[in-house]
Structure 1
Amino acid sequence: MKTFRTFLLAGASLALAVAGSVAQADQPSAQASPPQVGFRYPNTIAQYDVGITMPDGVRLSATVLRPADDQKHPTVFLQTPYGKDASAAQVIDFVNRGYAYVSVDVRGRFDSGGDFAPFRDAADGAHVLDWIAQQDWSNGQVATIGASYSGNSQWNLWRERNPHQSAIVSYVAPADGFGDFVRFNGVPKLDLIFTWMMQEYGRVNHPHEVEDFDWGEVMAALPLSTIDQRNGRRVQAWEDAMREDRFGPYWQPLQATGNTPGRDIPTFNVTGWYEGQLLGAVRNYENARGHSATPGNHVLVIGPWLHGVNRNRVIGALDAGPQAIIDLDSLRDRWMDHVLLGREAPTHKNFIYFLPALNQWRQADAFPIPGTQYRSMRLSSGGHANTAAGDGMLVEGNGRGAPDTFTYDPNHPVPSLSSRTAGARGGLPQGSVDHASVEQRDDVLVYTGQPLAEDVEVTGPVRANIYISSDVVDTDVVVRLMDVYPDGRSLNIAEGIARAKYRNSMSDPELMQPGQVYRIPVDLFPTSNYFRAGHRFRVEVTSSDFPVFGRNLNTANSDSGTETAIAHTRVHHDRRYTSEIILPIVPRGASEPFDPPMQTAAAQPAE
C-alpha cells in the first residue's frame, strides 16, 4: 500500500522554532550497518545508521534505501526529529519507482549527535544534500519531502541555496515563526505549540508523560512564559519564545515570507482547511509561485482535513462525505515523476481544493483563484451588538450607529469551542462547531447579514479591518467568520486574531493611548465554504479565544507578566471608521470540478 501517513506522524505534532538548543546530548557512537541487498525489500540496497559528519564534527545518522543497480538516481530526502527509521517500510515505493531514499535524524535527536535546536538545522540539511550528491548512486538531484517540522525545514533549507535541492514536497508546513507558526500575527498559539513542547523535548519523544496533565489549569497559569514549570519541567525553548515578543533577530531565521533565495525550484504543497498551519502552507506556496519564472511548476492541494491530512471525513459538525479521502500519494507521485524522472506531466491545474458544504473537489489555475471578487461586508448596529440577540448587522454599504462596547476580563476569557491543534492534545474538539453558547456572552459582538438570495462560494484569503478604542494600553481583536444555518446553528468557518500593539509593526510595537481610535488589521485563516441560499454571513468580534491563543492581559507584557487589567473596548463602524471583513467571492466558472484519484476501501486511512 502506498501511503504518506508515516510522514504525517511528524504532522501529528508541531515543533517550536527556537534560537538556542533545548537538549544537551553526547555524540552517539555507532557504526553503519553493511549494505543489505534484498534483505527486507526485493531489488533494494538498505543501509542503516550511516554516519554523515558535519563541518563541526557532529555525526548525523541516516537510513539509505536505493535500487540494487549501478545506475545514478534522484534522491528523496527526509530530515526529521521524529525518528528516521519509522517510515522506511512505507517509502519503499520510491525505490521501486527509481529513487534513492535518505532519511536523517536531525541534530540532537535519536541516533544523531549534537544538541537539538528545533528548526535551526538548515545548514546541516545543506551538508547532507552535498553528501548525497557525492555518492556514486546519486545523479545530484534531490527532492526534499516531509510534513510539519520536516515540511518547514525544507523552506529553511531552500534559503541555503544548495544547488542539489531540486524539488520541495511540503505538507502542512508553517512559514513564519512570528506570523503564523509559534505566534499568529504575534499572538501565542498556546494550545497548539505549548502542548507540543511539553511532549517533544530532548532527544526522544515523551507522549505518555502528558497523558494526565490538566491542560486547562496549566495553560491558565501566569506568567505565560513559565507555565512549563507547572508541569515539573523546564523547557527553555518555550520560555525564550514567549519572552521574545517582537519580531527581531530571534525570529528572523524562521521567516520565509520575504526571504526567497532567488532559486526557482518546483514545489508540491498540501494542507487542510481545518489545520493549524494552513496559513503558513498557503504562504509558502504563494512565496514560491510569486517569485517563479514558471508558476505552473507549483501545486497547492487543500482538502477537508486536519493536520494529519487525508484521514478524516467527519470533522466537527461537518461530514465531507466519502470523497474526502483520496489517493493523495498518486497525485504527488505523478508530479514528482514528471519533475525528477522526466515522465508525462500531470493534466490537473495548479490549485486543487475541496469545497466544503458543496462537498466537491475543484481546481483552478492558482490560489487565490483568478477572477475572485473581494466583497467588503461592513459592521453596523444601533450600538448594541452584544450577543446574537443584539442589533449587530453585516451590510454591504456603510455601517452606521454608535460604537458597540464590550468588557474583556482576562480572568474570564471567551472559551475556545474548537481547535486546530493536531490530535486535539488540549482536549478541545476540532473543526466547525455551533457557537450558540459563546454568542450568548455579553463580551462577544455579533454582526449578521441578511439571508442569501443565492448560493455563494467563499474561497481564498480573508482579512478584517476593525476600528477600536479602549481604556487599556493593549488588547487583542478576535474575528470569526460564521455560517448561520436556517435552523439557527452558527458554525465557525475561519478565525483570526491580532494584537493591537502590532498594528503597524511586529518589530516595533506601539501601545495604545486610551480613548484614541485605531485600525486593527486582522488576517484570518484562509478558508473555503459553500454558503447555501437562505444561510447568512455572520462575524463575531471579541478579545479572547482561550486556550487556542494566549490571553492578552491588557498590559504591555502579556506573555511574561502577571498583572491584568479589565478592558472596556469600543468597536467603531460608521462612514469614517469602516470596520469590515473582506470575503473572497468566487464567481461561477472561475474554478471547475476535479475528479481526484480515489483510494480503495481497503487502503483508506482509519479515522
Structure 2
Amino acid sequence: MFNVTMSDGIVLTTTLWTLRSVKFNEKSSFPVNYQSFPYNYFVEKAIVLQWATALLLKTMPQHAILIQHMRGNGSNTGKFAGFHQAQDIADTVTWLKQQYWWNGVLFGTGKSAMGVMSYLSALVNVPMRAQSVSIAAADEYKLIYQNGAFRSALVNGMLKYVNQTDYNVTYIDHEDPGPWWNGTNLDGHYAGVKWPAVHTAGWYDVFQQDTLDVYHGYRTQSDPEIRDLQFLIIEPKGHCFAGGAVKWHNLALAELSTLASTFAGMLFGVLADAVNVPKFEAGLELLRSLSKQIPRVFWYVMGSGLHGAKGNWIAAADALPTPTPTPMYLAPHKTLSEVVPNQSSAFSYVYNPEDPVKTLGGNNMGAPPALTGMANLPCGPWDQLPVNKYRTDVLVFTSEKLQTELAITGRTKIVLFVSSNVTDTDFTAKLVDVFPNGTRLLLQDGIQRMRWRYPHKGPQFMSPGEVYKIEIDLWSTSYIFMPNHSIGVDISSSNVPQFDANPNTGYPLKVTSRVPYTLLANNTVHTGLDQASHVLLPVVPLDSVAPVRDKIMQNLLPHFSTTADGQPTLAAKLRALGEDVSQ
C-alpha cells in the first residue's frame, strides 16, 4: 500500500495488487491496470478477485492492478469531489514513472464510477495503451441531470453507496450546466484518445446512452490510428441486476460477458509489452489484422419473451444498423397513426407534484438492498398497467395491432407540442410494447424539464397557454415487436423517484429542495395538423438484427483461452510476434 501525494498536497491511499507469483526486484517490471476507486475495501477486494480470475490468470500473469481511493474516501485526505478528479490520474502517472516495477505500460479499466474516471483520463493526456470500460458515463452533468430533471434515485443511491450523502447538496446547488461542470465530460476532448478500447453498455443501464455516445466519440473523433480498434458490447441489463418482467436468455448474457473479457484480454495481452512506440505501433497493427476477422459490435436484441416470439438473442456487425426514423402520430381517441391526423386535438390533465406517477422499471439501479444499501427500485422491462391504473394524469396512446414483425434499433425520440398554465413543469414519455392481453411492457422512457429545454441558454420559462415544441430523448434500444402486438406511448409529467417531482413553481432546485412549495399544473398535449405530436421509431430491417451465426461465437472465443492440446492461442501468438520488435 502506498500513500501517493497529489500536486495540491492531498494524499491518496493506493494499493498495488498482483498475483503471488509476481517477483518484485530491480530487474523485473510489469504493466499496470489503473482504477480510481470510490468504494470500500471489501468491494475493492471483490473487484480484484473478479479481474484476477477473468483476465490476469488467462492472459497476463505478470500484470498488476493499481487501485487508488478517491478524495474523501476512507482515510484519504481532502474532500470528496464527485468526478472532478481527473488531475489526480495525471499526478498518479507522474508518481508511477518513479516506480522501478512499472514497465511504462498503462491500462485503464473500470465499471460504473470507476469507468467514469477511466473515461475522464483522456482529459489529462495519460499514456494509456488500452482500455476496457463497462456501464459508465463520461459527462457528469448528464449523469446527474437528464434533460434538466434531477435523477434523484440514481444520485441518492450512488452517494449512499460511497458514503458521501452530504454531496447531494453540492449537485443540487449546481443545477445549471455551467462552468462548475468543466473537466467532467469528454465533449471536445476525444482527440486525446490514442488507444484501443472495449466499451460495454446495457440497454436498461442508468448510463446507457452516455456509454453509446462515448463509443461513438471514440469511433469518430479519436486519433484516426485507433478508431477501427474500438469494440462495443451491449447487454440488456447494466446496473439493472434484477432484470424485469422479461426473462433474458442466460446463455446469451454469459456469452456477452465472456466477449467483454475476451476483447479486453485481446487488447491487454497483445499490448502488455508495448513499452515503446515501435512496440505499441506493432501491437496495433497486429490487432488490426485480428479485428478484420470479427465484428466490432455485439448487441442483445430484446423481445417479448413469449413462446415463439423473435428476439432475445445476440446480433453482431461492424456497426449498429442505420435506422429509418419512422413517425407514428398521436391521434384522436388516443390512438397512434402512421399519417398526420387531419384534425387537431388537445389532451389535458392535472399534474399534482404531491401525488406523482411512481417509477416501475426503466433505466434504474436495480441492485438488491443487501448489496448496495440502496432502495430496491425496480428496473428493466416492467408492465406499466399497475402504474397507470386509476390515474387521470397519464395519457395512454396505442396503435392498431401490427400485422408483421417490426424491428427497432437505435435512438427513439418523442416530439410533443405542449402547453401549461404554469411557467415550468415536466413532460415524461414512455415507449411500450402492448401485448394482446393489454400488458404495456416498458422499453424506454425519458423526461424534459421545460425550463431547461435549452440548457446552455439558462432557464427558459413558459408563458401560460403558449404552445411549445419539445423533443424527449428516450435513449436507445433494440427490440422486435411481434404481430398482434401494438406500439404504445404513455405521456405524463412525473416519474418518481427516478426523477424528482417538479413542483411547477419555476424556482431553482436549491430553493425547492429546502422549502417545499408546489403548484398544480394543467398540462396539455396538442396533436394533429401543424402540431402533430409523434414518436420517431428507429426502424431497421429484420435481417439486420438477426442472431449472430453460431460459428462466429464458436470460432472467436477459443482464440483467447487455452486450446485443448495446449497449443498457444491466437492472442498469445500475436503477443509473441510483438515481442520481436526492438526499440
* Shorter-chain TM-score tier: 0.7 to 0.9
- Please, which of 288, 295, 310 is the counterpart of residue 349 of structure 1? 295
Q: What stretches of structure 2 of length at least 5 have no aligned partner?
A: 274-282, 304-310, 369-373, 559-583
Secondary structure at the aligned position of 1:319 is classed as: coil
- The Cα of 1:61 is off from its aligned counterpart by 2.2
- The Cα of 1:258 is off from its aligned counterpart by 3.7
Distance 1:490-1:95 versus aligned 2 partners, 3 A rule: closer
Is structure 2 residue 243 aligned with structure 1 residue 325?
no
CA contact (8 A) 2:128 2:194 kept: no
Distance 1:437-1:88 versus aligned 2 partners, 3 A rule: closer
Distance 1:155-1:507 versus aligned 2 partners, 3 A rule: farther
Is structure 2 residue 384 aligned with structure 1 residue 435?
yes
- Please, which of 220, 229, 249 is the counterpart of residue 297 of structure 1? 229
CA contact (8 A) 1:192 1:422 kept: no
Secondary structure at the aligned position of 1:576 is classed as: helix
**2:581 counterpart residue number:** none
**1:76 counterpart residue number:** 33
Q: What residue identity is the alignment partner of 1:195? A: G
Higher helix share: 2
Distance 1:259-1:567 versus aligned 2 partners, 3 A rule: farther
**2:573 counterpart residue number:** none
**1:394 counterpart residue number:** 336
- Please, which of 156, 159, 167 is the counterpart of residue 194 of structure 1? 156
Is structure 2 residue 462 aligned with structure 1 residue 512?
yes
Name the CA distance, whole Å, in 1 between partners of 2:8 and 2:388: 57
- The Cα of 1:168 is off from its aligned counterpart by 2.5
- Please, which of 329, 345, 363 is the counterpart of residue 316 of structure 2? 363
What is the root-mean-square deviation of aligned Cα atoms in Å? Answer: 2.4
- Please, which of 488, 504, 507 is the counterpart of residue 538 of structure 1? 488
Spell out, residue by residue over 1:576-597, the C-alpha distance to the aligned partner (whole angstroms, 9 max, x if none).
Answer: 1121211111213435533557
Distance 1:478-1:335 versus aligned 2 partners, 3 A rule: same
Secondary structure at the aligned position of 1:427 is classed as: coil
- The Cα of 1:505 is off from its aligned counterpart by 2.8
- The Cα of 1:421 is off from its aligned counterpart by 1.6
CA contact (8 A) 2:262 2:557 kept: no
* Stretch moving more, 257-266 or 272-281: 257-266
Q: TM-score, normalised by structure 1?
A: 0.78
CA contact (8 A) 1:464 1:581 kept: yes
Secondary structure at the aligned position of 1:108 is classed as: coil
Q: What residue identity is the alignment partner of 1:79? A: S
CA contact (8 A) 1:264 1:288 kept: no
- Please, which of 202, 208, 212 is the counterpart of residue 282 of structure 1? 212
Distance 1:340-1:578 versus aligned 2 partners, 3 A rule: farther
Name the CA distance, whole Å, in 2 between partners of 1:375 and 1:83: 47
Q: After superposition, where does 1:66-465 map in structure 2 within 5 Å?
A: 66=18, 67-68=22-23, 70-83=27-40, 85-86=44-45, 87-92=47-52, 94-96=55-57, 97=60, 98-162=62-126, 164-179=127-142, 181-202=143-164, 235-292=165-222, 293=224, 294-307=226-239, 315-323=243-251, 324-326=253-255, 327=258, 328-340=260-272, 342=283, 345-346=290-291, 347-357=293-303, 358-366=311-319, 369-381=320-332, 391-399=333-341, 400-419=343-362, 420-423=364-367, 425-440=374-389, 441-465=391-415
Q: What residue identity is the alignment partner of 2:314? A: W
Name the CA distance, whole Å, in 1 between partners of 2:387 and 2:344: 24
Distance 1:95-1:445 versus aligned 2 partners, 3 A rule: closer
- The Cα of 1:339 is off from its aligned counterpart by 4.9
**1:224 counterpart residue number:** none
**2:416 counterpart residue number:** 466
Name the CA distance, whole Å, in 1 between partners of 2:161 and 2:321: 42
Name the % identity: 26
Secondary structure at the aligned position of 1:195 is classed as: helix
The number of residue pairs the alignment matches comes to 503
* Stretch moving more, 401-410 or 492-501: 401-410
Q: After superposition, where does 1:4-23 map in structure 2 within 5 Å?
A: none
Name the CA distance, whole Å, in 1 between partners of 2:39 and 2:78: 16
- The Cα of 1:599 is off from its aligned counterpart by 11
Q: What residue identity is the alignment partner of 1:362? A: A
- The Cα of 1:553 is off from its aligned counterpart by 0.9
Distance 1:599-1:510 versus aligned 2 partners, 3 A rule: same
Q: TM-score, normalised by structure 2?
A: 0.81
Name the CA distance, whole Å, in 1 between partners of 2:166 and 2:434: 43
Is structure 2 residue 58 aligned with structure 1 residue 58?
no
- The Cα of 1:77 is off from its aligned counterpart by 1.0
